[in-house]
Structure 1
């Protein structure tokens, strides 16, 4: 019994230390931009293994060089309550859960299975996952994602969260951040992105590797038009 109590105490202490380590890293991000994310490092390793080379493009640009058009487009497309929620949009999460359940039921009726249809993750949750976590989908990892999400919201401003996200998110294979995406797809700087160009980039975020093959496909163009219409109502932090 004593051995079991000691083991539990050690595990609790280890979890606490891990959370403090995450908190320290996040607190430092108030002043220092992260050099890389967990997702970026895993992608670099994958490219090295599969292609024996790492084609990479990323350039940090400060918040004042990130256009309001891109911020509004990404918020409208990815997380329209970003300025109001505390890291998790519980209504969106509930809606996603119901859609997944319905999709699972339809798939089972056809003798098939489906893992996931829609996630409902906020920008802060996506950043938490990209910064520190792997891509596995387990309850333990989701719990850690939630803890990091709440820590990000507690220690960083919304402006800083969005700045880090837009500078580190994937926009294609080996292509990270708004500046690299603007240069690659439109041959301009992020600060000069127009409204429709910003909307097109926002549309690509859920599946950048798929959309980069046809960045001007009818779907991307059509969806971008819808995002443009929603951008005026997108509230910036």
Structure 2
């Protein structure tokens, strides 16, 4: 005669099996993402989800496929550009550990009384989002962004974070990275960008498909001036 299994014991067994499965999934996720982040410390990301997403958008709009980018090593990037990026996007980049809570608080307060949305993300957060994730503002994506931000701060140097950031960031319609943008807008390499050119390029980073260094608005010129002032306060970079 077959032995009957009580409902309580069956439920406990199912719970244990589910817990084991969940544990395996979490372990697999941690190992995979750890290896991924470590690999990209040494290997330049070949493409990002955003690049593919924008490419598909262009095709759906009846435009040609376009992903223009050229990697340039951090040591070859203009010091003016590196300073401008920090001065314009994350003035405390060299001091924080991935998150600037004061900047987030200030951005939140300003957004309550302004129609223009101000971001409070650090360069590290933007790099994590651009390289490892998809566009969006959901809490799930934000949680993954925080996780990958912590990982790259732990496993990459600040120099590497800035290098990747300046090489994958969207800089125009179908343009990615500072080198492609510099060639497009200034007809020169990002290695020789002037202070004014670097500040103007960084001024359009928040929305490069709306704004362009080729036709700056009065708002972009004001941002450029602010970035130039912040650049003077930064002093010499450690890399």
Scaled to the shorter chain, the TM-score interval is 0.7 to 0.9
* Structure 2 Cα separation of the partners of residues 93 and 70 of structure 1: 24
SS in 2 for 1:171: strand
- Distance change in 2, residues 1:5/1:92 (3 Å): farther
Unaligned runs of 5+ in 1: 107-113
Larger mean CA deviation between 175-184 and 8-17 belongs to 8-17
* Structure 2 Cα separation of the partners of residues 226 and 6 of structure 1: 58
Find 1:57's aligned residue among 38, 47, 68. Answer: 68
SS in 2 for 1:54: coil
* Correspondence for 1:85: 96
* Correspondence for 1:68: 79
Larger mean CA deviation between 20-29 and 198-207 belongs to 20-29
Render the CA deviation track for 1:124-165: whole Å, top value 9, x for unaligned. 101111112122222221111100000001110000000011
* Correspondence for 1:109: none
Larger mean CA deviation between 29-38 and 120-129 belongs to 29-38
* Structure 2 Cα separation of the partners of residues 215 and 16 of structure 1: 50
Render the CA deviation track for 1:54-102: whole Å, top value 9, x for unaligned. 12210001111111100111111100000010011111122233334x3
* Structure 1 Cα separation of the partners of residues 102 and 120 of structure 2: 9
* Structure 1 Cα separation of the partners of residues 206 and 49 of structure 2: 18
How many aligned residue pairs are there?
226
Q: Whose RCO is larger (CA < 8 A, sep 6+)?
A: 1
SS in 1 for 2:171: strand
Unaligned runs of 5+ in 2: 1-10
* Correspondence for 1:145: 145
Matches within 5 A, 1:7-156: 7-100=18-111, 102-103=112-113, 117-156=117-156
Higher-Rg structure is: 2
* Correspondence for 2:8: none
* Structure 1 Cα separation of the partners of residues 217 and 141 of structure 2: 35
**Cα RMSD (Å) of the superposition?**
2.0
* Structure 2 Cα separation of the partners of residues 5 and 232 of structure 1: 60
- Distance change in 2, residues 1:213/1:228 (3 Å): closer
Larger mean CA deviation between 65-74 and 16-25 belongs to 16-25
Q: State the Cα distance separating 1:8 from its structure 2 match.
A: 3.9
* Structure 2 Cα separation of the partners of residues 172 and 57 of structure 1: 10
SS in 2 for 1:142: helix
